[in-house]
Amino acid sequence: MPDHIPKPPYVGSNLLPEISSECQIHDSEGIARMRAACELAARVLDNAGKLVRPSVTTDEIDKAVHQMIIDAGAYPSPLGYGRFPKSVCTSVNECMCHGIPDSRQLQDGDIVNIDVTVYLNGYHGDTSKTFFCGDVSDEMKRLVKVTEECLERGIAICKDGAQFKKIGKRISEHAEKYGYGVVERFVGHGVGTVFHSEPIIYHHSNDEAGFMVEGQTFTIEPILTLGSIDCITWPDNWTTVTADGSAAAQFEHSILITRTGAEILTTY
């Protein structure tokens, strides 16, 4: 990393940071900085997706993402977060999330989630999308389509004063119509000056308390599976796969709560 690029406070520590109890609620300057970080993350994600094709390795995607982020004067948030060794997460097929880029070549018919977070001017922007590699089966296409629809439905109910639990209700109802499982272990989270904070956003049906507040930013990032929602984490302490080897898909946006709705920040 170039010395002139500011690094998040967790860089240099081997410890996984605890989820902060500090909710991310911003003034106008903070919102402007969040918009900038999230727009950069969205641009990087789109460019990374253009690299997805058979024979490309996830290491190559990581190197490209790293370069795009530092060229913009930002820091790749995953790098050094609890000893995570790369600048992006790449999760292929049965990998639910937190896949570490490596030398494996993508194959025709794979699906791959690319999860990009950037740290720009003291704020994190966090987003992910599942991409098709070559000729993907109709079964995989349907899973990916419904997962993206679940994210959209979760965002649609968000506004000042709305209950957080309605997000999981909306997502679960839509996923269950198609027979898909909604992974319960992994959650959305507050995002801003801190990478991961309260509130915790559950994507499955739940009865958790709490209401959204204008000016607040958090992620919604449902993971759906073709089979079991149970998971196994590899000895690297990051890569997490479905217990039965079935495919998983994920989409994620960082959003800003407004008086009347929610603004998707990770777009441009």
Task: Quick: pLDDT tens for 175-214.
Answer: 999 999 999 999 999 999 999 999 999 999 999 999 999 9
- Please indicate if the annotation marks 252 as binding a ligand: yes
Q: Do the domain assignments include residue 181?
A: yes
Contact 154, 203 (CB under 8 A): yes
Task: Give me the chain's average pLDDT, please.
Answer: 97
How many structural domains compose the chain? Answer: 1
- Please indicate if the annotation marks 62 as binding a ligand: no
CATH code assigned at 94: 3.90.230.10
- Please indicate if the annotation marks 236 as binding a ligand: no
pLDDT for the residue numbered 176: 96
Q: Do the domain assignments include residue 16?
A: no
Q: What percentage of the chain carries pLDDT values higher than 70?
A: 100
Q: Do the domain assignments include residue 8?
A: no
Q: Do the domain assignments include residue 4?
A: no
Global pTM exceeds 0.85? yes
Q: Do the domain assignments include residue 71?
A: yes
Q: Do the domain assignments include residue 152?
A: yes
Q: 108 pLDDT band (50/70/90 cuts)?
A: very high
Q: 144 pLDDT band (50/70/90 cuts)?
A: very high
pLDDT for the residue numbered 257: 98
pLDDT for the residue numbered 135: 98
Three-state SS sequence of the chain: CCCCCCCCCCCCCCCCCCCECCCCECCHHHHHHHHHHHHHHHHHHHHHHCCCCCCCEHHHHHHHHHHHHHHCCCEECCCCHHHCCCCCEEEECCEEECCCCCCCECCCCCEEEEEEEEEECCEEEEEEEEEECCCCCHHHHHHHHHHHHHHHHHHHCCCCCCECHHHHHHHHHHHHHCCCEECCCCCEEECCCCCCEEEEECCCCCCCCCECCCCEEEEECCEEECCCCCEEECCCCCCEEECCCCCEEECEEEEEECCCCEEECCCC
Q: Do the domain assignments include residue 9?
A: no
- Please indicate if the annotation marks 203 as binding a ligand: no
Q: Do the domain assignments include residue 5?
A: no
pLDDT for the residue numbered 36: 98
Task: Quick: pLDDT tens for 78-92.
Answer: 999 999 999 999 999
220: containing domain: 28-264
Q: 216 pLDDT band (50/70/90 cuts)?
A: very high
- Please indicate if the annotation marks 98 as binding a ligand: yes
Give the mean pLDDT of 58-62. 98
